[in-house]
A and B are shown apart, each in its own frame.
Chain A
Amino acid sequence: MQSISEALGLALGLVISADADLFEIVRLSLYVSLSATVLACAFGLPLGALLATTRFRGRGVALVIVNALMGLPPVVVGLFVYLYLSRSGPLGFLGLLYTPTAMIIAQTLLITPIVAALSRQVLEDMDREYAEQFRSFALGWVQRVQALVWDGRYALLTVALAGFGRAVAEVGAVIIVGGNIDHLTRVMTTAIALETSKGELALALALGMVLMTLALVVNALVYSVRATATRSAYA
């Protein structure tokens, strides 16, 4: 067990010297979470748009479910994906368990409801504002949704960033389906958990710093996207 100051010094050293192990882990983290964000947007945004612009029986129930799924515990998602991908599971034949793909699937499931629920809110608020004008223009549904998505572009970008932030910081899902295998499925959060339990505080702290910096960067991006949008009254 190192002292905290000693560990901090070592950690800074790792970050500054661009340590190869450290960067491999960071790179995999970004790859997994960015892929999950892209996929979650591909599924969640259309779902949000559908929920925002259509009225059907059971819509209220659907909204409650999607909103509740926002708070899904990552370990539960991990467990669920594990059951499907494990050798005896229905998708076991794909051999995906303990691969980055499995981690992407788990994180995608985790943040799709977030993207869907938040974009639903964004698009529905805007739809309410535009509804009469769009009916007056005699727009079809596709034109209407296209216009809403384009006009909501800044808000939707912050939704995607929120999804990414959640994905990159979670540990429960990736550790179950990824297994935290060195050089293969070890990402920042799982490495921090492991290194800490081993008493290897330097790498854990170094990764913690990167993770914190990433969180700062994401929030700075959200802030500047909002500021840009507000400056031109496009928010």
Chain B
Amino acid sequence: MRDTASYLELEADAGLSATDLHYAPGRSRLIDGLTLHLPDSGIHCLIGPNGAGKSLTLRLLHGLLTPDAGAVRWRGDTMSASDRVAQAMVFQKPVLLRRSVAANVDFVLKSRRSADPTFRDALLKRVGLEGRNRQPARLLSGGEQQRLALARALAIRPRVLFLDEPTASLDPNSARLIEEILCEERHHGTLCVLVTHDVGQARRLADSVAFVSVGRIVEHSTTDAFFRAPVSREARAYLSNLMVL
């Protein structure tokens, strides 16, 4: 485990890094000098209050948004098209195709020219949706939709997996299932960048925690260090409210 200081000083070419990102559509400076260096594997959490810019940060890291200034790099190089292809994202609100459960996964597999029903069924089983192949995806419950979105992301066999509150609408058992999947992914060397409001989840899963506040990372340290002794005023305020509860 790295200590606090080493996360902040992690070499910019170690894995996924964002340097001094700015994103200001219109006049509002939504992302304002955000710097974040992540290693090339493990589970790393972004936490912070609503509207802090966590979802925007994921979009910038994934390349869905182009920063006005600053750069996102993968192992020291600007993100290439083939780097992008090896990334997947589970959105805060899942966007499912107007097709069956199985067809949603097949769509991704086919787009990568690797249609494989056995693999698809294994993925659906892994997220607890076995036997639901033919059901229309948009009739699934909110939590089931979220799990299908995860299965679809895993179909990409991602090198980097972005997850925006993937367990927010899940029951405890389903949430635990997702957490197990993320741990397996970590074991396979995937880099998982996870936005969560579930502090317990961050504690259980994360190798490091970055705290987002008004468009920047105000603190980034190992999970232990972060929860033992948060340094920034913002993180302390956020956590102290939780302690009261």
Contacts and interface: CB of A to CB of B under 8 A. Distances in A.
A131 to B, nearest CB: 9
Nearest to B88: A136
A34 to B, nearest CB: 27
Contacts of A152: 98
Interface stretch (B19-27, B89-97, B190-198): B89-97
Contacts of B62: 136
Interface string B108-149: 100100000000000000000000000011110000000000
A132 B91 contact: yes
Interface string B55-86: 00001001010000000000000000100110
Nearest to A138: B85
B102 to A, nearest CB: 14
B227 interface: no
Contacts, number: 44
B111 A233 contact: no
Contacts of A234: 98-99, 136, 138
A129 B111 contact: no
A135 interface: yes
Contacts of B89: 136
Contacts of A133: 91, 95
Q: Residue among A136, A151, A152 with the most chain B CB within 10 A?
A: A136
Interface string A106-143: 00000000000000000000000110110111110001
Nearest to B103: A150
Nearest to A129: B95
A232 interface: yes
Contact of A147 (B64, B97, B136): B97
Interface in A6-33: none
B95 A139 contact: no
B95 A233 contact: no
Q: Residue among B81, B91, B107, B111 with the most chain A CB within 10 A?
A: B111
B81 A138 contact: yes
A133 B87 CA distance: 12
Contacts of B138: 232-234
A136 B98 contact: no
B81 A233 contact: no
Given A143-B111, A233-B136, A234-B136, A138 B97 contact: no
A89 B95 CA distance: 53
A135 B64 contact: yes
Contacts of A233: 98, 136-139
A132 B95 CA distance: 9
B34 to A, nearest CB: 20
Nearest to B149: A133
A235 B111 CA distance: 23
Interface in B148-171: 156
Contacts of B81: 138
Interface in A143-187: 143, 147, 150-152
Contact of A232 (B88, B107, B136, B156): B136
Nearest to B85: A138
Q: Which 6 A-B pairs give the minimum distances between C-beta atoms?
A: A233-B138, A232-B136, A234-B98, A133-B95, A151-B98, A138-B85
27 contacts: A130-B97, A132-B59, A132-B64, A132-B91, A133-B91, A133-B95, A136-B62, A136-B64, A136-B87, A136-B89, A137-B108, A137-B111, A137-B156, A138-B84, A147-B97, A147-B107, A151-B97, A151-B98, A151-B99, A232-B136, A232-B139, A233-B98, A233-B136, A234-B98, A234-B99, A234-B138, A235-B98
Interface of B: 59, 62, 64, 81, 84-85, 87-89, 91, 95, 97-99, 107-108, 111, 136-139, 156
Given A129-B95, A136-B62, 12 more contacts: A130-B95, A132-B64, A133-B95, A135-B64, A137-B108, A138-B81, A138-B85, A139-B111, A150-B99, A233-B137, A233-B139, A235-B98
